[in-house]
Structure 1
Amino acid sequence: MASAAGRVERPRLSFWGLWNLSFGFFGIQVGFALQNANVSRIFQSLGTSIDDLAFLWIAGPVTGLLVQPIIGYFSDRTWTPLGRRRPYFLAGAILASLALLGMPNSHALWFAAGMLWILDASLNIAMEPFRAFVGDMVSERQRTAGYAFQTVFIGAGAVAASLAPAVLTQLFGVSNVAPPGEIPPSVRLAFYIGAGALLASVLWTVFSTREYSPEQMRAFEGEQAEISHDEPLAVPLNGFWWVTFGAIVVICVSQFGLDKPVYILGGALLAYGGLQELTRRHALAGKRGGPVTRIVSDLVQMPPTMKRLALVQFFTWIALFILWIYTTPIVTRYMFGATDTASRSYNDGADWVGVLFGIYNGVAAIYAFALPSLAARIGRVRTHVLGLLAGAFGFGLFLLIRDPLWLILPMILIGIAWASILTMPYAILSSALPQAKLGVFMGLFNMFIVLPQLLVSSAMGSIMGLAFPNEPIWLMGIASLVLLIAAAAMRGLDHQSDSLR
């Protein structure tokens, strides 16, 4: 079928075509969910205090910040017998499976932290090309449905992984208690099963799909399918201001005794300022630039829709990272009255957190099926606003609830938000990006997911200590507030985005 511009429209995929396209995300999310639901538990079991949890979680934002744009850049330029994106998420899946086998065998905190870095880097290698993969393979009419399928498998994988330790304990009698300094057997076995599920599901997508050739992509996209190697670098603003701001942060940490993790935030600002200045000088000198300067140049030239969505993502993911880091210590302390990680009450509470995470992911998997029709009726932007408001209300309920059973209600609302967060921004964004650079722009877009994670990981311990020492539950109030800000930021999006299906 030809469009008005003479281009050929991508074939419409069947239900099973969309299924095969995204099934690998099931395994990737198994890895992420095992990490999200159990890493705080593992760190605390190895003797980490609640104040240090955020710093140990720094692996996620740092690896995502570095890995995703680079993987996106190179996947845009890769054509192999295996395809364009598939070599990357296959390699990432193999590495992540090995890390899942190693993580629960940690007997020292440094080893667990190192495994987390390897696991998160590998999951990022696997995940980033999957986002661009859907944009490559589906037509404009099926964008929302394509990303909704990813959300279904993300939710299903997270449910399976989140419930695994509790199911192994309740149904198969695997112990969820271990001596101090040891990882419970139920957690170890869940990680082993997750490693197999991750690799198997990614292999399913690799062998059940075939990517379009460069010739087919040119037929679909015309000139937008081609990367121009002669494109001049954009000229960024002077990196001096970023370097100055980073230096101020570092000096403040040193002089005023702030938490050392804030050094990482200052270092990130210094690094970005240096890269921006390097790119500016290359651009003014007329150089073609390499991968790093090209990535910075693309960042400077983000389309307007991407800039607005980046702001939305920044606030949204502050809330999510709070959820993943602090739900276990909050639930075990306030709902189960336990802080001793070797106690039965603490481990029962940690298992309940796994159930709650399974609930919100299960709700997301179900709600994702409704997103294409809802977006067609009220628009993509309004659909996402509704999801963010539901999440804000859900986080706010944590401040009122003390009965563990009633926590199911906020998790249902957070599940609605999660489905929208995983679907709508990507459906909106993929329609606003040049196809030839879909990988690198998706990687850059994910920087605005990892930047708030870096902020939470480096600064949240200091904020919690200063604002509400020994009362971490108020972090849920912060999460509710930032989701309200994200919903308000969506109102600035172009009305054209709201009409896309």
Structure 2
Amino acid sequence: MLQMQHRLSPPFLVLLSLPSTAMGFALAVQISALSWLLSTRYGLDIHEIGLVWAAGPLAGILGQMLIGLLSDQTWAWGGRRRPYILVGGVLTALALLALPAIGLINETLGLDAILGVAITVALALDLAINVSFNPTRALIADVTPEGPMRTTAYTWMQTVSGSFGVLAYAIGAGFGNLALIYFGAGLVLLFSLLPPLLVEEPKTLPTAEPGRDGQRLGLFAVLRLMRPLWPFAAYAAVAMGLKLAGQATHPLWLEAGFGLAALLFIVWALLERQPAPGTPGEDLPGFRKVLAAHSLSWIGMQTLFVYLIATVKQRFPEADDDAIGRVMANSFLALNAVGALAPALLLNPLARRFDEVRVHAAGLGLMVAGFLLAYVAGYAPWVIYLGMALAGIGWGAIVSLPFAMFSQCVSPARIGLYMGVFNLSVVLPQLAVSLGIGLVVQALPDKGSVFLIGAAAMALSALSWLALVPRWRAQAQGGAGVPAAGGH
């Protein structure tokens, strides 16, 4: 095993991908089953489902930041990331088993608060996933060198994880979501407990270098680093406060105002100048551009994950609960089948020839086309499946290439902390979708607008990514001799 690790052979890269696959499978189970359970079994309205989904981003905001920082500084059980992966895997499996027992838990405790119990169970699941998710991805950066090999490792991660995601949606479509939940709990245990014990982690990482302005990453430096995400965080605080105050609905001017502010802060980040070619230290302006562009992608994806059920129910009113579940499972199956194959077979070869940024933007462009196809013509299930399959190329890019791009902007010695900050570009937009987009979707007469919202967000994200200049390209333009793709 150590010989395979030193060569970074494909079998080792597959093994290295399995812990992340476990957490990705748990998320696939959640995506496939949670909205379906809440809507068909417990009768929650669409805005209430959005509130339950808000538990995940809330868990991720502190969970991944804190775990990332701790795992950078931990050494226990023979590893830096290993303790968090092992503990998180066990907790995630237990939380999955609680999903179909929400009603039983409510009755056993003598409560009449199914929404509150659902939120608690969803929060427990996401907290468990967040214990492991950051370390599973930081582990890949720990044991691979910067450049093309790291890009290859992360595309392998998505290929393996995406392949099991396909299996998840196939099980959901063929055997039902309850079977998927129980299978998922077993797989999470297997993939999170065994592989970490077979990977040798480096006990020391390269010494951290300050950014070009010499700053250390204290609290205020981290807050400045996440500046493109400030409006998302502010909106989440205001919207959550309104919901807790009993104002579940309100005029949409609040969402419009924060949406405009988010776009202005994103443009601010995209206009920042990155360090000159050859400048030592971290490329923090480049990292902020990654945060800005990636946040827009997740507005589109989370809208689809949470509210696709509204589109399916409206466009296929004759379908019963099981049929609705099958349409959703097959839709996500098409998305993930292509998303699993695209990174290793298409995106990684193209990234080596061109660069990750351009390839990523092109993938998001195909996602726009797929969403528009589903919006315009998705009145038969097979058309929705076709649109989702086309979007799968962009989905494969979203969950693989940004890790390689951002990890080349920052110091490897604190990759766990940066992974936590990077995760905010996922969870804060997710929270905005759960708290705000649900009100928009509920107000729109055509629930197919879920696809239109997704297409608009992906188009803006693709344009935003083009503002990022990878270090290797900047060095090439400055005349330095560098590798042909992906590296420094």
1:486 aligns with 2:461: yes
Q: Which amino acid aligns with 1:153?
A: V
Q: Which amino acid aligns with 1:449?
A: V
Q: 2 CA distance for matches of 1:260 and 1:21?
A: 47
Conserved? CA contact 1:305–1:493, under 8 Å: yes
Trace 1:107-126 onto structure 2 (pairs within 5 A): 107=103, 108-126=114-132
When residues 92 and 302 of structure 1 are mapped into structure 2, their CA distance, relative to the original with a 3 A threshold, is farther
Q: 2 CA distance for matches of 1:93 and 1:33?
A: 15
- What corresponds to 1:331 in structure 2? 312
Match of 2:101 among 85, 99, 105: 105
Cα deviations across residues 233-279 of structure 1 (Å, max 9, x unaligned)? 4756999x98x9779947995999662799x99xx9xxxxxxxxxxx
1:87 aligns with 2:62: no
What is the percent sequence identity of the aligned residues?
Answer: 28
Q: Does the residue aligned with 2:409 lie in a helix, a strand or coil? A: coil
Match of 2:413 among 419, 436, 439: 436
Q: Which amino acid aligns with 1:133?
A: L
Q: Which amino acid aligns with 2:323?
A: D
- What corresponds to 2:295 in structure 1? 314
- What corresponds to 2:362 in structure 1? 386
Q: 2 CA distance for matches of 1:155 and 1:132?
A: 18
Q: 2 CA distance for matches of 1:320 and 1:251?
A: 21
When residues 79 and 356 of structure 1 are mapped into structure 2, their CA distance, relative to the original with a 3 A threshold, is same
Deviation at 1:357, TM superposition (A): 0.8
Q: 2 CA distance for matches of 1:38 and 1:247?
A: 25
Q: 2 CA distance for matches of 1:232 and 1:487?
A: 29
Q: 2 CA distance for matches of 1:311 and 1:250?
A: 21
1:162 aligns with 2:169: yes
Cα deviations across residues 186-235 of structure 1 (Å, max 9, x unaligned)? 43232111100011011232122111122xx3xxx35659xxxx958475
When residues 120 and 260 of structure 1 are mapped into structure 2, their CA distance, relative to the original with a 3 A threshold, is farther
317-326 vs 42-51, which deviates more? 42-51
- Size of the aligned set, in residue pairs, is 422
Structure 2's unaligned 5+ residue stretches are 104-113, 259-281, 474-484
Structure 1's unaligned 5+ residue stretches are 1-9, 169-185, 269-300, 339-343
- What corresponds to 2:25 in structure 1? 30
When residues 160 and 260 of structure 1 are mapped into structure 2, their CA distance, relative to the original with a 3 A threshold, is farther
Q: 2 CA distance for matches of 1:410 and 1:312?
A: 23
Q: 2 CA distance for matches of 1:104 and 1:367?
A: 33
Q: 1 CA distance for matches of 2:464 and 2:203?
A: 38
Match of 2:181 among 182, 191, 198: 191
Match of 2:16 among 2, 18, 21: 21
- What corresponds to 1:358 in structure 2? 333
- What corresponds to 2:321 in structure 1? 346
Q: 1 CA distance for matches of 2:17 and 2:237?
A: 44
- What corresponds to 1:77 in structure 2? 73
Q: Does the residue aligned with 2:375 lie in a helix, a strand or coil? A: coil
Cα deviations across residues 433-492 of structure 1 (Å, max 9, x unaligned)? 1011100001111001111111111111222344x1x42211211110011000111111
Cα deviations across residues 272-318 of structure 1 (Å, max 9, x unaligned)? xxxxxxxxxxxxxxxxxxxxxxxxxxxxx981111001011110001
Cα deviations across residues 393-419 of structure 1 (Å, max 9, x unaligned)? 111112122111122211112210111
With the length of structure 2 as denominator, give the TM-score of the two structures: 0.79
Q: Which amino acid aligns with 1:397?
A: L
When residues 87 and 257 of structure 1 are mapped into structure 2, their CA distance, relative to the original with a 3 A threshold, is closer
Q: Does the residue aligned with 2:194 lie in a helix, a strand or coil? A: helix
Q: 2 CA distance for matches of 1:49 and 1:389?
A: 33
Cα deviations across residues 54-105 of structure 1 (Å, max 9, x unaligned)? 1121111111111000000000001123300111111111000001111112
Q: 2 CA distance for matches of 1:35 and 1:252?
A: 26
When residues 246 and 81 of structure 1 are mapped into structure 2, their CA distance, relative to the original with a 3 A threshold, is closer
Q: Does the residue aligned with 1:206 lie in a helix, a strand or coil? A: helix
Conserved? CA contact 1:69–1:444, under 8 Å: yes
Q: Which amino acid aligns with 2:317?
A: G
With the length of structure 1 as denominator, give the TM-score of the two structures: 0.77
Conserved? CA contact 2:28–2:165, under 8 Å: yes
Conserved? CA contact 2:21–2:161, under 8 Å: yes
- What corresponds to 1:375 in structure 2? 351
Trace 1:134-213 onto structure 2 (pairs within 5 A): 134-140=140-146, 141-168=148-175, 186-213=176-203
Q: Based on CA coordinates, which of the two structures has the bigger radius of gyration?
A: 1
Q: 2 CA distance for matches of 1:96 and 1:492?
A: 37
Q: 2 CA distance for matches of 1:412 and 1:245?
A: 35
Q: 1 CA distance for matches of 2:439 and 2:173?
A: 33
- What corresponds to 1:450 in structure 2? 427
Q: Which amino acid aligns with 1:101?
A: L
When residues 247 and 66 of structure 1 are mapped into structure 2, their CA distance, relative to the original with a 3 A threshold, is closer
Conserved? CA contact 2:405–2:470, under 8 Å: no
- What corresponds to 1:55 in structure 2? 51
Q: Does the residue aligned with 2:320 lie in a helix, a strand or coil? A: helix
Q: 2 CA distance for matches of 1:311 and 1:257?
A: 30
Q: 2 CA distance for matches of 1:446 and 1:55?
A: 20
Q: RMSD of the TM alignment (CA)?
A: 3.2
Q: Which amino acid aligns with 2:358?
A: R
Conserved? CA contact 1:23–1:204, under 8 Å: no
- What corresponds to 2:486 in structure 1? 500
Q: Does the residue aligned with 1:399 lie in a helix, a strand or coil? A: helix
1:41 aligns with 2:47: no
Deviation at 1:49, TM superposition (A): 1.4
When residues 15 and 350 of structure 1 are mapped into structure 2, their CA distance, relative to the original with a 3 A threshold, is same
Q: 1 CA distance for matches of 2:410 and 2:207?
A: 14
Q: 1 CA distance for matches of 2:374 and 2:457?
A: 15
Conserved? CA contact 2:85–2:193, under 8 Å: no
Q: Does the residue aligned with 2:162 lie in a helix, a strand or coil? A: helix
